[in-house]
Chain A
Amino acid sequence: MANVKKAIKISQKHLLGIQDLSISDVNFILTEAKQFIDLNKSKNKKLDVLRGKTQINLFFEPSTRTQSSFELAGKRLGADVMSMNLNNSAIKKGETLIDTAMTLNAMHPDIIVVRHQDSGASNLLSQKVNCAVLNAGDGRREHPTQALLDALTIIDRKKKIEGLKIAICGDIVHSRVARSNIYLLNMLGAEVNIIAPSNLMPKDIEKLGVNSFSDMKKGLKDCDIVMMLRLQNERMTSSFLSSNREYYEYYGLTPDKLDFAKDDALIMHPGPMNRGIEIDTNLADDINKSVIKEQVELGVAVRMACLKIFCE
């Protein structure tokens, strides 16, 4: 990251997906995020760059880590943060997303962080409000801050992304994390291997510039990073798999499968994990190999950077 040119301004008004960002946008966000890593480790964690700004977290889908991460990020920057969980609110009374957006817009927030179960929900919202919209996950489409924090974690450990071989493995078809990571890692010059059983592989994924594998061992060969995804049982509407046991046998990350990757390969997971289904529990906790906790830590820094940049 030493030689990259720093952008002065972000090209987009909203952060809806990695697809919309340019490489200088990405570097701008990552550079900004790096400054917050140390701040988050220090004793006084509070800044006032967003003092007087209002941040609304609009979560239509349950979330623990993303929502708390955004909340903490906003608070550390001095914003007034309001979190709304809409499981039991107006939406249940038949109010549409656009009506909810209009209502919130009338309260003059400076930034809305939104998570929704439908792909494209953040795009729709962004067309109807005056403030910036940060996508915290829309259906299966994108989860840009997750990809950015993954990139930051990789850079933090490997010092670069360009030229690395990165495997993304698991339930790709239902995964917004996979999609955002594919765009971002491709943009930053990594070689991306996608590993999934055919039933969980989206059609024509190769057209996004990745290699696809249904044999995990082949896909993991010589990889620097192994990114495991959660099996999204809640999105499975019909029989995709025979059983979790068989899935673990063929697609769960175990020490013997990890042996196919490079010796110094790192394990990542966006969480929450299904231990014993997609990942061996000891591997997940192996501090020499797993950077899962670091991902969470850097997540706050990345979200602080995004809030700061898109609020301006």
Chain B
Amino acid sequence: MKKKYFLNGYIIDPQNAIDEVGGLIISEDGKIEAAGKKVNINNIPSREKYIDLKGKHIIPGIVDMRVFVGEPGYEYKENFRTLSEAALSGGVTSVVTMPNTNPVIDNVSIVDFLKRRGRDKAKINIYPTASLTKNLESTNMTEFGLLQAKGIVGFTDGYKTIQNTRLMSRIMRSAYDLNCLIMQHVEDSELAKDGMVNDGIISTKLGLQGISDLAEKIIIERDLTLLEDFNCRYHISQISSQKSLDVIKKRKEMVEFTCGVSINNLSLNENDIGDFRTFLKLSPPLRTEDDRLALIKGINNDLIDVIVSDHKPEDEEQKRLTFAQASTGASGIETLLPLALELYHNESLKLNKIIKALTCNPAKILRINKGNLNTGNDADFCILDINKPWVVKKENLISKSKNTSIEGRKLQGKITNTFVKGEELFKT
């Protein structure tokens, strides 16, 4: 590989507090050699050719902490190859995959298979999680220690919550002993039973069973109460409401934990469901505009650490049904950054905050050396044309499943090039 020089760009690397006009040098072996304002026309050998960024941004490759992939078992929805292509087009270079596959990722031998498939088919970095309980049945714990030794970065039951408090306390104790990360989807299943949308005027109008924001709050309160005593690495996968934030704010001083939010809950509210749009049947559900604004504030106040795509590919057959019958979730990995940039363009969030929540923050939680432009680190990064307008169209999506929650949305900002280990793997 030849050494690469990028000049006249705007470099954002929150981990190294770089937020300035500058450039980037990639070494022959695909590592970051230098980044920031020190990289300019005066500091490179005159014989070298360089790439003129013309004011475009360079950011570290995005680390998406919540991605469902169909492999194994649901390859018709998404496989590692299509996921990888979709991710690269959105500037995502590392993904954390959920264990809700068939079979479930709950034992050491399936992890070997997964890692092999990921390595052979995906060009991005795959960080698999395993389930908290065997076959997601909420009865027996999986082998946290052995699985972690095999390369599992965290443990979660994906879109299922551990309801049993005794089991949860034991999970936390084991996770403490073995230094494992627990990622909980927070929803009381009895309170949320048969629920499809936020419990409020929209559920009343549409005649759909509502999911109260209490269902989320109760599990958060319970888990944080347990955490005070058991003190393991604990991450709340996604929150959706003001009430949850209030709890998080109160508990932050007492106990250590982290928290994520889906880009859907930051960018849409329950009114977007309109005339039964099943692509907006999500978990957690879209809530009120007040909740959405509170979540944005939560990122600003560092109460929320991570923004995820909650990428859940579903084929059209699972969505062309009545709202009650339709499956839950939306495809979103390739629109994660552009949609997040909407919050920058409308001045809800600072660009640095957004990038931080998409790169170094998730990497720190996962304890992986990604999401930064550290000298000597793998050159995973992307080039962003931050003002470029475009429209989300189903037919242009790369993911195998086209169930986007933002069909027809006018966005501003598009990835033009994505690099993994110094190699350009995507280019518009």
* Interfacial residues, chain A to chain B (CB-CB below 8 A): 19, 96-98, 116, 118-121, 123-124, 138-142, 176, 179, 202-205, 207-208, 237-238
Contacts and interface: CB of A to CB of B under 8 A. Distances in A.
A204 B207 contact: no
B210 A203 contact: yes
Given A96-B325, A118-B324, A238-B193, 15 more contacts: A19-B205, A119-B276, A120-B322, A124-B321, A139-B207, A141-B206, A141-B207, A176-B207, A179-B204, A179-B207, A203-B200, A203-B210, A207-B201, A208-B205, A237-B193
Given A118-B325, A119-B276, A203 B208 contact: no
Contacts of A204: 200-201, 204
A237 B195 CA distance: 12
A121 B207 contact: no
B210 A97 contact: no
Nearest to A98: B320
A286 to B, nearest CB: 32
Nearest to A97: B322
A178 B205 CA distance: 11
B189 interface: no
Contacts of B205: 19, 141, 179, 208
A142 B325 CA distance: 18
Interface residues of B, number: 22
Contacts of B203: 202-203
Best-surrounded residue of A19, A138, A202, A208 (most CB of chain B within 10 A):
A202
Contacts of B201: 203-204, 207-208
Interface in B284-332: 317, 320-325
Interface of B: 190, 193-194, 199-201, 203-208, 210, 275-276, 317, 320-325
A205 B322 contact: no
Best-surrounded residue of A97, A119, A176 (most CB of chain B within 10 A):
A119
B204 A203 contact: yes
Given A203-B203, A208-B205, A118 B322 contact: yes
Contacts of B208: 119-120, 139-141
Contact of B320 (A96, A139, A203, A208): A96
A120 B276 contact: yes
A141 B276 CA distance: 11
A179 B202 CA distance: 12
Instruction: For the complex of A and B, list the 3 residue pairs with the smallest distance between their C-beta atoms, beginning with the closest.
Output: A141-B207, A140-B207, A120-B276
A97 B321 contact: yes
A119 B210 contact: no
A124 B276 CA distance: 8
A123 B320 CA distance: 12
A19 B275 CA distance: 12
Best-surrounded residue of B193, B204, B276 (most CB of chain A within 10 A):
B204
A123 B275 contact: yes
Contacts of B321: 96-98, 124
Contacts of B324: 118-119, 139
B29 to A, nearest CB: 53
A118 B194 contact: no
A19 B201 CA distance: 14
B207 A138 contact: yes
Given A139-B207, A140-B207, A120 B323 contact: yes
Contacts of B194: 237
A124 B207 contact: no
Contacts of B199: 203
30 contacts: A96-B317, A96-B325, A97-B321, A98-B320, A118-B322, A118-B323, A118-B324, A119-B208, A119-B276, A119-B322, A119-B323, A120-B206, A120-B207, A120-B208, A120-B275, A120-B276, A120-B322, A123-B276, A124-B321, A141-B205, A179-B205, A203-B199, A203-B201, A203-B203, A204-B201, A205-B204, A207-B204, A208-B201, A208-B205, A238-B190
A297 to B, nearest CB: 28
Given A124-B322, A238-B193, A119 B204 contact: no
A202 B369 CA distance: 49
Contacts of A208: 201, 204-205
Contacts of A138: 207
Given A96-B320, A204-B201, A207-B201, A119 B206 contact: yes
A116 B208 CA distance: 13
Contacts of A202: 203-204
Nearest to A99: B320
Best-surrounded residue of A141, A179, A207 (most CB of chain B within 10 A):
A141
A203 B198 CA distance: 10
Nearest to B208: A119
Contacts of B322: 97, 116, 118-121, 124
A139 B208 CA distance: 8
A76 B218 CA distance: 57
A201 to B, nearest CB: 9
Best-surrounded residue of B205, B210, B321, B325 (most CB of chain A within 10 A):
B205
Nearest to A207: B201
Contacts of A124: 276, 321-322
A272 B340 CA distance: 52
